[in-house]
Amino acid sequence: MRATASVLLAIASVVLLSGSAEDKRLSIYSTIANYSLPVVERNKMDYVGLLEVLEPLGSVSGRVNGEHWRLRYNNAEAEFTANKRGARARNTNFDLSGNFILEGGRGLVPLLDLSGLLARILGGPITFNPSARRLFVGSVAVHFTAQVSGATTPKLIMNFSAPVNPTIATEPGKLRMTFTHDPVVASGSPKLTFNSPLITSANFIESNGEAEVVITTTVPVLASFSNNGSTITVEPSSVAMAATPAQTLPLPAVVPASPPPPERAASPVVASAPPVPAALPYFAVVDAGHGGDERGAALTEQIAEKDVTLTFARLLRQELNSRGLRTLLVRDGDTTLTLDQRATTTNSAAPAIYLSVHAASQGTGVRLYTALPASGGENIGPFLDWDTAQAPFEALSDAAATSVAAALHGKQFPVRTLTAPLRPLNNITTAALAIEITPPAGDASRLNSAAYQQPIAAAVAAGVADARDRLQAGRR
Amino acid sequence: MIPRQLILGAVVMIMLALGMGFYAWRMRGGASQPEPASTQPVAPPVLGPTEAVTLYVAYDEGALLRAQPARIPLPAGRQERAEELLRALLNIYLDKTSPHLLGPGSEIRDVYLVDPGLAVIDLNAAFADGHRSGVLVEELTVASLVQTLAANIPGITRAKILVDGKDRDTLAGHLDLTNFYDVAAFSQLSLQLQSER
């Protein structure tokens, strides 16, 4: 009896746990909005709320009349009856694959019927992948190509037909790009194999309203965005390349940098810029503050600090690269990183300067911060105390701050230089500076605009370039 | 014929019942209109003469820290004086005309002075959870607390901030709370924060 009860309890636990492991989601992509909705299970079938599906696409209303539910979307009408399969849309009768369900004024339709139902109501082509629960309204799919170039320093270049913004995560031997709100689809075979010993394959997977590209590698890699987010380049990190034996992977003296994005090519600064030697150590590491689960400050109801810092960090990288200062982004996507991970990545890359990017909704202009010396800490032999690792580089950081402040002043940007107990500045073993940008004339909604950020990024890069010799002399 | 004593007894009983009813009605009326709950921190009243102190008050306008003379009653004990100083500062921030808004319910739970020279400031969770996020806005708050203590309590060389008695990574996403602050470095920072440049 007791054994039977234990078995039943175990089965119940497994059922409960498996049910709660992952909520089912449906993603809908359209020219108006890309969004994701919960899928509910009724009568052993997947259902979705029809009003919720249509609301982001246009003007929609639902009205309950006894057992009947009448839906109006723009000029189209549809009528359903609770616990019946028969329905009517645009004066045409049809049957659902399961009963229509009316719950608290909410109309639920079987997920499998959604494609046909939307085609009737919206009147356009609908593409639905039921196993992945991804639905495309119209021709909105984003296609991509992927190829590895360069035998000695291989780079996987992925070109997308529209800008994308995946979440990027790395684990040993893999780099995952998760596309939650991008209508990315595979153009051909879902698995691509490359003739490279370092970047071996890319696998496209779709499930639960998301698409994922998993890149298999044999060395640690970094991903970077260019071309306004339409190109993602995956390449071995400098640390990985340095660790690779020279006889198996000789480094070229100079590798031309990837071409600048088309819209920047017109800029005289970029056009006159020398190519950045890719095999040299990074001169600068730019760290977009926050990211992933950590949103930073809510600058407006819509704008999170993590997005502003990423946009600015990418612009700053362009500006630094265009001045011949090879630059690494600590995060180049919506990734969660701890402060220790940021410091470790930076210290491993051994750059001449580290630039941390923040944004605030209060105040005006740009604020520059160097580390406020922490109390205590003791270095033991060659090992630096983690919390005071910045101490030997304080003068170098001050020099960089002075140079950047002068460049910002020169461009008429209000600038204030302060010290701050702001991690990971104190853990960085090179010149380290944090930049906090604030909105123009108190209008936080313009903080994320490239037009506002671009001249600030250019001035910061000019200030770093002015201090190049001093920074180069002071690097480890 | 009803006995006279019985009539008198009945009248007394009716008057008593009416009186009790009126009393109960007043009590219910009072209970249904409670005093609005105060969100201000409750500090024990300090008696005695006032003393001249300098509070370092953060101003959002211009993002400045200003040294502000004040007279407040202070107890004799060093630790209690430290607590009173920070409570006086907090009263400024929680006032309607606050120059530097803090979240409702913000409180200084305790200040501990540990020899040699360490001040531990324990904030409540509402203080940190309701704080605005940003490097400078957080820095103004922390500098205001640390510099007010350092300027008025001799011998403080290091400071540490806890939230609800525990370590916390940052105040509101930026300012580091994991480390011990060097008060001399904070005094330099306070000078920087008193200038707009």
Residue range B23-36: mean pLDDT, rounded:
50
Q: Decide: A234 and A199 in contact? Cβ < 8 Å.
A: yes
Nearest CA in chain B to A294: B173
The pLDDT, as a whole number, for residue A264 is: 32
Q: Decide: A165 and A59 in contact? Cβ < 8 Å.
A: no
The pLDDT, as a whole number, for residue B45 is: 52
Look at B182 and A305 and tell me if their CB atoms are within 8 Å.
no
Q: Does residue B143 have a pLDDT over 90? A: yes
Residue range A98-103: mean pLDDT, rounded:
92
Partner residue opposite A374 with nearest CB, options B136, B139, B179: B179
Q: Does residue B162 have a pLDDT over 90? A: yes
Look at A363 and B136 and tell me if their CB atoms are within 8 Å.
yes
Q: Decide: A352 and A320 in contact? Cβ < 8 Å.
A: no
Identify all chain B residues contacting A432, using CB atoms and an 8 Å cutoff.
none
CA of A389 to nearest chain B CA: how many angstroms apart? 13
Q: Does residue A12 have a pLDDT over 60? A: no
Q: Is residue A367 less than 8 Å (CB to CB) from chain B? A: yes
Better-predicted residue by pLDDT, A213 or A255: A213
If we measure between CA atoms, which residue out of A221, A249, A251 comes closest to residue A233?
A221
The pLDDT, as a whole number, for residue A65 is: 87
CA of B177 to nearest chain A CA: how many angstroms apart? 8
Q: Is residue A372 less than 8 Å (CB to CB) from chain B? A: yes
Look at B133 and A298 and tell me if their CB atoms are within 8 Å.
yes
Residue range A53-81: mean pLDDT, rounded:
87
Look at A418 and B136 and tell me if their CB atoms are within 8 Å.
yes
Identify all chain B residues contacting A297, using CB atoms and an 8 Å cutoff.
132-134, 172-173
The pLDDT, as a whole number, for residue A170 is: 78
Count of all residues that appear for chain A in the document: 476
Task: Identify the residue whose tokens are 């997308």.
Answer: A160
Better-predicted residue by pLDDT, A106 or A359: A359
Read off the pLDDT of residues A366-376 as tens digits, 9 standing for 90 and up. Answer: 999 999 987 76
Q: Does residue B93 have a pLDDT over 90? A: yes
Look at A419 and B192 and tell me if their CB atoms are within 8 Å.
yes
Read off the pLDDT of residues A277-286 as tens digits, 9 standing for 90 and up. Answer: 444 689 999 9
Look at A423 and B181 and tell me if their CB atoms are within 8 Å.
no
Read off the pLDDT of residues A317-367 as tens digits, 9 standing for 90 and up. Answer: 999 999 999 999 999 888 889 999 999 999 988 999 999 999 999 888 999
Q: Is residue B196 less than 8 Å (CB to CB) from chain A? A: yes
The phi, psi pair for A67, rounded to 5°, reads -90, -5
The pLDDT, as a whole number, for residue B109 is: 95
- Detail the DSSP E strand segments found in A32-111: 34-38, 40-42, 45-49, 60-65, 68-73, 76-81, 86-89, 92-95, 101-103, 106-110
Count of all residues that appear for chain B in the document: 197
Q: Which long-range contacts (CB under 8 A, 24 or more apart) does A144-151 make?
A: A144/A184, A144/A187, A145/A187, A146/A192, A146/A202, A147/A194, A148/A194, A148/A195, A148/A196, A148/A199, A150/A255, A151/A196
Nearest CA in chain A to B192: A418
**Does the model's pTM come out above 0.90?**
no
Look at B136 and A360 and tell me if their CB atoms are within 8 Å.
yes
Identify all chain A residues contacting B158, using CB atoms and an 8 Å cutoff.
375-376
Angstrom distances, CA of residue B11 to CA of A74, A152, A403, B3, B8: 77, 112, 97, 13, 5
Residue range A90-98: mean pLDDT, rounded:
89
HEC string for chain B: CCCHHHHHHHHHHHHHHHHHHHHHHHHHHHHCCCCCCCCCCCCCCCCCCEEEEEEEEEECCCCEEEEEEEEEECCCCHHHHHHHHHHHHHHHHCCCCCCCCCCCCCCEEEEEEECCCEEEEEECHHHHHCCCCCHHHHHHHHHHHHHHHHHHCCCCCEEEEEECCECCCECCCCEECCCCEEHHHHHHHHHHHCCCC
Confidence of residue A388 (pLDDT cuts 50, 70, 90): confident
The pLDDT, as a whole number, for residue B29 is: 43
Look at B134 and A361 and tell me if their CB atoms are within 8 Å.
yes
Q: Is residue A434 less than 8 Å (CB to CB) from chain B? A: yes
CA of A260 to nearest chain B CA: how many angstroms apart? 33
**3-state DSSP call for residue A61?**
strand
Q: Is residue B25 less than 8 Å (CB to CB) from chain A? A: no
When scoring A367, A423, A437 by the number of chain B Cβ atoms within 10 A, the one with the most, hence best to mutate, is A423
Identify all chain B residues contacting A436, using CB atoms and an 8 Å cutoff.
134-136
Read off the pLDDT of residues A116-149 as tens digits, 9 standing for 90 and up. Answer: 888 888 877 888 888 899 999 888 888 888 888 8
The pLDDT, as a whole number, for residue A165 is: 82
Cα angle value A269/A275/A276 (rounded, 5°): 105
Read off the pLDDT of residues A162-173 as tens digits, 9 standing for 90 and up. Answer: 888 888 887 788
Q: Is residue A235 less than 8 Å (CB to CB) from chain B? A: no
Residues 49-88 of B with CB under 8 A from A: 60, 63
When scoring A375, A415, A423 by the number of chain B Cβ atoms within 10 A, the one with the most, hence best to mutate, is A375
Distance CA A262, CA B67 (A): 53
Mean pLDDT, rounded, of chain A:
82
The pLDDT, as a whole number, for residue B173 is: 95
Better-predicted residue by pLDDT, A42 or A13: A42
Read off the pLDDT of residues A192-251 as tens digits, 9 standing for 90 and up. Answer: 888 888 899 999 999 999 999 999 998 888 888 887 778 888 888 765 555 444 332 222
Q: Does residue B26 have a pLDDT over 70? A: no
Q: Is residue A134 less than 8 Å (CB to CB) from chain B? A: no
Which of these ranges, A32-41, B13-22, B171-180, has the smallest mean pLDDT? Answer: B13-22
Q: Which residues of A41-61 are buried (b: 16+ CB within 10 A; e: fewer)?
A: eeeebbbbbbbbbbbebeebe
Q: Does residue B101 have a pLDDT over 80? A: yes
Partner residue opposite B181 with nearest CB, options A298, A305, A421: A421
Q: Does residue A296 have a pLDDT over 90? A: yes
The pLDDT, as a whole number, for residue A22 is: 62
Torsion-angle region of A466 (φ positive above 0: left; ψ -120 to 50: alpha; else: beta): alpha
The pLDDT, as a whole number, for residue A130 is: 87
Partner residue opposite A418 with nearest CB, options B174, B182, B192: B192
Name residue A21's amino acid. A
Read off the pLDDT of residues B52-74 as tens digits, 9 standing for 90 and up. Answer: 999 999 999 889 999 999 999 99
Angstrom distances, CA of residue A66 to CA of A43, A95, A303: 22, 20, 43
The pLDDT, as a whole number, for residue B27 is: 54
The pLDDT, as a whole number, for residue A262 is: 33
The pLDDT, as a whole number, for residue A63 is: 87
The pLDDT, as a whole number, for residue B103 is: 93
The pLDDT, as a whole number, for residue A124 is: 74
Identify all chain A residues contacting B117, using CB atoms and an 8 Å cutoff.
none
The pLDDT, as a whole number, for residue B183 is: 93
For residue B40, the tally of other CB atoms under 10 A from its CB is 13
